[in-house]
Amino acid sequence: MDLVTNKIGLNGIIDVPSDKSISHRSIMFGAIAQGKTTIKNFLRGDDCLSTLKAFQDLGVNIEDDGEVITVQGTGFSGLKQAKQAIDVGNSGTTIRLIMGILAGTSFTSQLFGDHSIAKRPMNRVMLPINQMGAECTGHDGTEFPPLTVKGTTNLRPIQYQMPVASAQVKSAILFAALQAHGESVIVEKEKTRDHTEDMIRQFGGDITVSGKEIRINGPQNLVGQDVVVPGDISSAAFFLVAGLIIPDSRITLNNVGLNPTRTGIIDVIQQMGGNLAIQETGNAMNKAGSLIVETSELKGIEISGEIIPRLIDELPIIALLATQAEGATTIRDAEELKVKETNRIDAVATELNKMGADIQPTDDGLIIHGKTPLHHAKVTSYGDHRIGMMLQIAALLVKDGAVELDKAEAISVSYPSFFNDLNKLYQ
């Protein structure tokens, strides 16, 4: 499809889609808890709907009236064997987290997804889950989906030093640990998003976190709750960057989740000299607020180390931000970008360089030289929603000619209303 180009003066207020990570987990926790869970502001994107359908396949009664989703929780022990293999679509969160839940069942499950999921490594979850007593195997003896998970009701606790900084891996282990007999200890490589820990507490569970060490005893019984999902900062990121780099712009983003494990992009914007204001409106369990950005003069910085897990999903749009900053921006320690929906290091460099950027991919990140004007090109999302949205924001800077995006439909995975929201800002 042809993207919107050559825009100035983006102005207005956007209510960004609900948080994808919390939406996934709200269904999962509702399913494994006892009693009713209600979910408001659920993200009805393809990925989260894959999670909803997966738990319906596992025998959980889930109803959606268009406003509120109601989950009649069965507890861990009430899950039933699916009648067929469970399709996770394009959702890495679904397949990895559900492995931890299925590890403690009394039956065997099969999991598969689309062509992108079939290329995503699963050993990082399979190894610890297997150490706990389940049997997780990949396709033809590999670590790649389709997967088979043979659960056991006698899961063992684990002491596990995380080899990668991954909230998905951590969450899968935590779901298994909730069903294991005894205390599990997980030590993170770096602090990652802690929605799972927060929601264990919210649903009445007991968990202790000290620095990078997490302790959790099992088995535990959870109780249904009322969940209100805040806006997704990963979705807000595209309009934060648009407001900073498009001339004469001022954009307000309402109800954005401000969990400190997710706000690395705010730190980066401030370090680069961006004009960003925060008006907090949430509470301790539902950290949220409004973000206001205006067109800014930006400078290049280094982004590395412990901040990377706090902005891993935002790095493609941060790379675009860096193309419009004076001087070099270096992104390091971001090897995890290689195993997302696509290799995002290569995808960002290849597609933005087509448009005139000066980006050098490295083994663990990117070196971006700014400030560079961008021009028209034919680009692709590679079927990756975040690459697709990043390229549309880039196209707004193109003054002459069309930018044609292949595989634009991938954007619906996390932000079905993305183009409609963009349209509101330049009318």
Residue 78: how many CB atoms within 10 A of its CB? 14
**Residue 340 labeled ligand binder:** yes
Q: Check whether 267 is labelled as a binding-site residue.
A: no
- Taking alpha carbons only, the member of 407, 357, 417 closest to residue 385 is 407
**Any known ligand binding at 166?**
yes
- Angle, helices 315-323/385-395, rounded to nearest 10 degrees: 20
* Ligand-binding site membership of 407 (annotated): no
Residue from 31, 23, 41, 33 nearest 201 by CA: 33
Q: Is 344 annotated as a binding residue?
A: yes
Structure tokens at 203: 């649903």
> Is 392 known to sit in a ligand binding site?
no
Question: 211 CB contacts (<8 Å, ≥6 apart)?
Answer: none
313 catalytic, yes or no? Answer: yes
**CA dist., res. 310 & res. 305, Å (int):** 10
Backbone angles phi, psi at 160, to 5 degrees: -135, 125
Q: Is 371 annotated as a binding residue?
A: no
Q: Of the residues 313, 364, 400, 406, which is catalytic?
A: 313
On whether 20 is known to bind a ligand per the annotation, the reply is: yes
CA dist list (Å): 188 to 174, 176, 194, 207, 328: 12, 16, 11, 15, 31
Question: DSSP letter at 107?
Answer: S
412 is in an annotated binding site: no
Q: Residues annotated in the binding site for 3-phosphoshikimate, as ranges?
A: 20-21, 25, 166, 168, 313, 340
Catalytic residues: 313
Q: Residues annotated in the binding site, as ranges?
A: 20-21, 25, 92, 120, 166, 168, 313, 340, 344, 386
Q: Residues annotated in the binding site for phosphoenolpyruvate, as ranges?
A: 20, 92, 120, 168, 344, 386
